[in-house]
Amino acid sequence: MTSLRRFYAAPEAFQGDKVLLDAEESHHLIRVMRLGPGARVIVCDGRGRQAEAQVHKLEQNAAILKVVRELPLSGESPLSITLGIGLAKGEALDTVIRQATEMGVKTIIPFTSAYSEKIDTARADRRLTRWRRLARESLKSCQRACLPEIASVREFAGVLPGPENAKVIFWEGQRAGGLTDQIEGPRPAAARVLIGPEGGFAPEEVAEARQDGYLVASLGPRRLKVETAALAALSIVQFAWGDLA
């Protein structure tokens, strides 16, 4: 089953036992993968539904699939992770989006802070569109069933509140005391993880997070790139509370 090609279709594209792929997914099926009628694939809606389907009909710019059987939920972590990530220059956040999707993150919140990149609304909207497309691509490759929600860019203060029962801010100024040194009590069902931009967090931001109930943890003595720090933090959290242990 894992050898079948995977495609994404929005929930509204599922109509009875038929699924209409959008132009991008149809192009990939028809022109790139060169799949024809009768070919078996897996299609998911990003909200937990996934099905084995058969290519039913091909039109010039559209592929219609027919659901053969529903498949059980797979690839999702028991830990609901919200990742707050500071805006960084270049393609760093593109990498973070891909890796966070692969690591089972449920929600991603980009934010601006004292040392982060500052962008205007129009550019933020363009990047958000790109990030959501990258998440869909990663969803298929990592065989998840649920697409992470990627929120609009907000200020640092707006990323602090949340219902999670475990909250961690990883700070380069915390040279000792990793997360495992501070874990106590039962395993949480949800965690909020904050990673700073290229310049890290300002001390007053860390103090604000601490007042809001965050654990302040170290990622070790080496200075990490944003994308490396995010992957390391998610690996630690998934190992401690999720499905990597």
Taking only the tens place, the pLDDT of each residue in 188-228 is 999 999 999 999 999 999 999 999 999 999 998 888 999 99
**Burial (CB count within 10 angstroms: exposed 0-12, middle 13-18, buried 19+), residue 118:** exposed
Confidence class for position 176, pLDDT limits 50, 70, 90: low
CA distance 226 to 231: 9
DSSP state of 28: I
Q: Do domains 6-71 and 80-241 have the same CATH topology?
A: no
| CATH of 80-241 given 3.30.830.10, 3.30.70.20, 3.40.1280.10, 1.10.510.10 | 3.40.1280.10
pLDDT in tens, 116-142: 999 999 999 999 999 999 999 999 999
Q: Topology of 6-71 in CATH?
A: Ribosomal Protein L25; Chain P (2.40.240)
* Contact between residue 76 and residue 104 where contact means Cβ atoms under 8 Å apart: yes
Hey, where are the domains in the chain?
6-71, 80-241
- Cα torsion at 199, 205, 206, 208 (round to 10°)? -170
For residue 2, pLDDT over 60 is answered with no
Beta carbons of 220 and 235 less than 8 angstroms apart: no
Strands (DSSP E) found in the chain: 6-8, 14-15, 18-20, 40-44, 50-58, 63-71, 80-86, 107-112, 149-150, 154-155, 166-170, 190-195, 215-217
Q: Of how many residues is the chain composed? A: 245
User: What Cα–Cα distance (Å) separates residue 16 from each residue in 10, 20, 67, 198?
Assistant: 14, 11, 9, 48
64 — pLDDT class (breaks 50, 70, 90): very high
User: What is the average pLDDT across 53-62?
Assistant: 92
Distance of CA 185 to the CA centre of its chain: 27
What are the tokens at 62?
Answer: 């559209």
| pLDDT attached to residue 1 | 45
Cβ(81)–Cβ(148) below 8 Å: no
pLDDT of residue 179: 79
pTM metric for this prediction? 0.92
